[in-house]
Amino acid sequence: MSNQSGIIQLTESETKQSTQAEFSQSLVSKAMGRLWRDKLTLAALTVIVIMSLLAIFAPLITAYILHVDPEATNPSIRLQPVGTPDHLLGTDDLGRDYLARLLYGGRISLAIGFSGSIITLAIGILFGMVAGYYGGWIDDLMNWVVTTVDSIPTLYLLILISALLHPSPEALVLVLALTGWTGGTRLIRGQTIALRNLDYITSAQSLGATPWRIMFVHILPNLLSVTMISLATGIGGLILAESSLSYLKLGVQPPTPTWGNMLSNAQQFFVRGPHLAVISGLLIFVTVLCLYVIGDGLRDAFDPQTGD
């Protein structure tokens, strides 16, 4: 598309048509090409992949490489500093190996982020597409629900639900997802409305395609970039939300480690073991930062206005 626009000025509708004509392959492969040249995004992606692998293989790593048990407490070696022999990142207030705790904490934190974000997105895609495609009273109803939920600050809702209902970690994921679905829904709805009036949808309709087929076969693939961007930023947002809840002692409860409750717990030992708070806080920060950078990078890569 960009090589054409250098030669002739295309009008708005012509641009859209040409995008549709040569769509899929060219847009995605161009985006991938741009992404490949965006070193910052690639670096962030690498960090996230490494973190995820470390989290997935945490039991193997702690058992066969570190030779420690993340649950083994030892009062005689409490709050050892970074670099202690046998304990690379020191020990926590109960004498547990901190690196092992962080690996296990990462499992839960990343799992909450990933699964919560996927649920959020699934709800967003379903509700957003239905509202955007059908319009009318369905759209009005959806709008009402979305504005209503949006007008209560998310943290208020999270605090209320977790303080009043004491959810388990699995339920907490659901709660986080349910309080965050409105953003995705609004985004998908807007995109669907923009796509709904394009010619290829009209032609699919005139060929007798059912609404569900149009939504899932013709509209959904075009939402790929939006969903990938909101997946990346959504995971980051949820990890942050979990840590905020943990700070208020309303998140996942110890002894199950998450980066959030480890950080929150580390506050009490700030003077004697500052490494606890610094490392766990930094891990959350770096992870969320990388996810946001990936989100930004994807946005630039998929934006047809970005030049090559």
Site residues for other proteins per CB under 8 A: 144-145, 147-156, 159-161, 163-165, 236, 240, 243-244, 247-248, 250, 260, 263-264, 267, 270, 277, 281, 284-285, 288-289, 291-293, 296
Of 161 and 172, which has the nearer Cβ to other proteins? 161
Shortest Cβ 284–other proteins spacing (Å): 5
CB–CB of 39/294 below 8 Å?
Answer: no
Of 200 and 247, which has the nearer Cβ to other proteins? 247
Helix (H, G, I), strand (E, B) or coil at 133: helix
Shortest Cβ 51–other proteins spacing (Å): 14
Shortest Cβ 7–other proteins spacing (Å): 20
Shortest Cβ 208–other proteins spacing (Å): 35
Helix (H, G, I), strand (E, B) or coil at 65: helix
Q: How far is CA 168 from CA 55, 161, 192, 239, 275, in A?
A: 21, 12, 35, 16, 29
Of 160 and 194, which has the nearer Cβ to other proteins? 160
Shortest Cβ 59–other proteins spacing (Å): 27
CB–CB of 223/289 below 8 Å?
Answer: no
Question: Contacts for 13-20 with beta carbons within 8 Å, 24 or more apart?
Answer: 16/198, 17/199, 19/304, 20/198, 20/199, 20/200
Of 124 and 236, which has the nearer Cβ to other proteins? 236
Shortest Cβ 145–other proteins spacing (Å): 7
What is the end-to-end Cα distance of the chain in Å, rounded? 11
User: Residue 135 burial by CB count (10 A; 0-12/13-18/19+): exposed, middle or buried?
Assistant: middle
Of 62 and 230, which has the nearer Cβ to other proteins? 230
Paired residues of 91 in beta bridges: 97
Of 86 and 303, which has the nearer Cβ to other proteins? 303
